[in-house]
Amino acid sequence: MIKPHGSDTLNPLYVRDDKARAELMKEAEGLPSIVVCSAAAANAVMMAGGYFNPLTGYMNRADALSVAEKMETASGLFFPVPILNVVEDASAIQGAKRIALKDPSVDGNPILAVMDVEAIETFTDDEMKMMTDKIFRTDDPEHPGVKAFNSVGKTAISGPIQVLNYSYFEKDFPETFRTAYQIREEMGKLGWEKVVAFQTRNPMHLAHEELCRMAWKAVKADGILVHMLLGKLKKGDIPADVRDACIRVMAEKYFEPNTVLITGYGFDMLYAGPREAVLHALFRQNTGCTHLIVGRDHAGVGDYYGPFDAQTIFDEEVPKGALEIEIFNADHTAWSKKLNKVVMMRDVPDHTKEDFILLSGTKVRAMLSEGTAPPKEFSRPEVAQILISYYQGLEEKPEIKMGKHSG
């Protein structure tokens, strides 16, 4: 199986030994504490599961600035985005060498991790702007990632962490949430060596299904990892439980047996386009995947990025050999009226726009809200039915929130 990034073996930061974890929790209750932001909590969950291997904790100012500027830490470790614990006010833990980090996403703010504080440093406005520009390629405050990055403070608390739980993800998504080491174990049991990963924050329609199948066949993979984001999205995106139901019914009914693993990870979407695509590749390598599908507008939002910027960054900015995982570059996929199947647009140069069945997201949402299923050439009927139930229920019930969770 492919090696993790930066080390020979995966080093998850979750304390797996029950006795050690109980002792740490008891110690944490007496430590100075701070409620971290949602992004910092998600970073802890990702480090806990081994996704951000080989990091041992939150980056300091020098590492964060270096990573933003040139995608490597001060010591030369390749990493595409800063992994930070940023707060507005660190006075509650000033002078403390060991602190408890509390979870902002669960009612009661339970303890999430124990941290050894190595430094508390504040970024200047110019440094925040530089990091914003480099990570997101824009400083537009309307960009959801820019807005989130610049709304939680400028003071970074850095140092190693020991993580005591997986926030709300394990409880809310018991069938789907998996750590990088759990995915490696599962793929090992299946005997998979060559695995293609598909990143999604949306329900999968027929074009996505066929894209996975195309990549699987093209690289002669043993299996497909459908890996969905379970954390915070922007307003209006479909909640994780609805997406999960859609993807499960599609995979169980239409994919060949024992070729797909459906899993999810606990992280807040950055909407950072190219930089986030590189992060996606890094942590899919940590799950044991050998290939990642990167399509048009991967991890993008609005018109901030070119359609293939998330592909070209691997050729133009990622140093050769920095990652072992390979990228499967994909074009837009859609149903061809001429060929009566889903095709990749670059493979059919004789087609015009009229030769495809193309529906905008706005059009699809309108159809689903009215109780109308999109055509079978666009969406599987079982998937459409789940989405119709969701959209029609929005008026009668409050939209499912992905922020606060009980328990």
Residue 297 tokens read as 């507008």
Q: Any residues with CB less than 8 A from the CB of 261 and at least 6 apart, and which?
A: 183, 186, 187, 190, 223, 224, 225, 226
Cα–Cα nearest to 278, from 171, 62, 107, 134: 134
**Which among 201, 213, 346, 380 is annotated as catalytic?**
201
69/82 Cα distance (integer angstroms): 10
Residue 349 tokens read as 């140069």
Q: Is 184 a catalytic residue?
A: no
Identify the helix (H) or strand (E) that includes residue 184: helix 180-190
Is the Cβ–Cβ distance between 281 and 292 less than 8 Å?
yes
Q: For residue 131, is it left (φ>0), alpha (ψ between -120 and 50) or beta?
A: alpha
Q: How far apart, in Å, are the Cα atoms of 205 and each of 259, 294, 349?
A: 18, 16, 23
Cα–Cα nearest to 318, from 268, 288, 280, 265: 280
Is the Cβ–Cβ distance between 290 and 281 less than 8 Å?
no
Residue 80 tokens read as 């595409």
Cα–Cα nearest to 241, from 45, 399, 407: 399
**Which among 202, 275, 346, 380 is annotated as catalytic?**
202
48/397 Cα distance (integer angstroms): 35
Q: Is 109 a catalytic residue?
A: no
Report, as residue numbers or ranges, the catalytic residues.
201-202
